Amino acid sequence: MKKLSLTSTVEVYSSIEELSDQDAELLAQAKKAIDNAYAPYSKFKVGAALRLANGEVFLGNNQENAAYPLCLCAERVALFYAASKHPDVPVKALAISAKSGSKPLTDPVTPCGSCRQTIFESEFRNQTPIRLIMQGETGDIYCMNSIREILPLTFTADFL
């Protein structure tokens, strides 16, 4: 038996001022998108903003349902919205932020497992890595240059 060690690289910034203008702008848009979330059940509002290779920005937020499994995350709303309008334009960056109804969020919000796989599908489909920018309401900001950093041993269409 041998062991495989997996490593990931995450850039950690302590304030928005440390970010590039492009990353800071996209994070600001994700924070604005939080306001339109529909989260009456969890009271956990998530905002996402993505920038396409053509410069257009698309927003998304979580959309919940009384039938809980139907809830859709902010990241997937933004990705599907953008892909439905521009199926062939790569996504270059995606910012995520959130507000909890029960406590101050001081840790960066990272995408759920389903969203990680969906973000990867976008990278694979367009053969373009997506830069991720993540923050809670306040606190450190995590950035990474591909979802692969937090989705190791990825299941891809190459297996099919």
- Report, as residue numbers or ranges, the catalytic residues: 75
List 19, 74, 83, 119, residue binding ligand THU (CB under 6 A): 74
Considering only the stretches 69-77, 100-108, 125-133, 148-156, report the one whose residues sit in contact with ligand THU under the rule CB under 6 A. Answer: 69-77
Output the smallest distance, CB 130 to ligand THU, in A: 14
The three state secondary structure string of the chain is CCCCCCCCCCEEECCHHHCCHHHHHHHHHHHHHHHHCECCCCCEEEEEEEEECCCCEEEEECECCCCHHHCECHHHHHHHHHHHHCCCCCEEEEEEEEEECCCCCCCCCCCCHHHHHHHHHHHHHHCCCCEEEECCCCCCEEEECCHHHHCCCCCCHHHC
Binding marks (x or -) toward ligand THU, 117..156, rule CB under 6 A?
A: ----------------------------------------
Cα distance between residue 147 and residue 124, in whole Å: 11
List 28, 71, 89, 150, residue binding ligand THU (CB under 6 A): 71
List 27, 30, 46, 133, residue binding ligand THU (CB under 6 A): 46
Nearer to ligand THU, 84 or 102 (CB): 102
Interface ranges with ligand THU (CB under 6 A): 39, 42, 44, 46, 62, 64, 71, 73-75, 111-112, 115
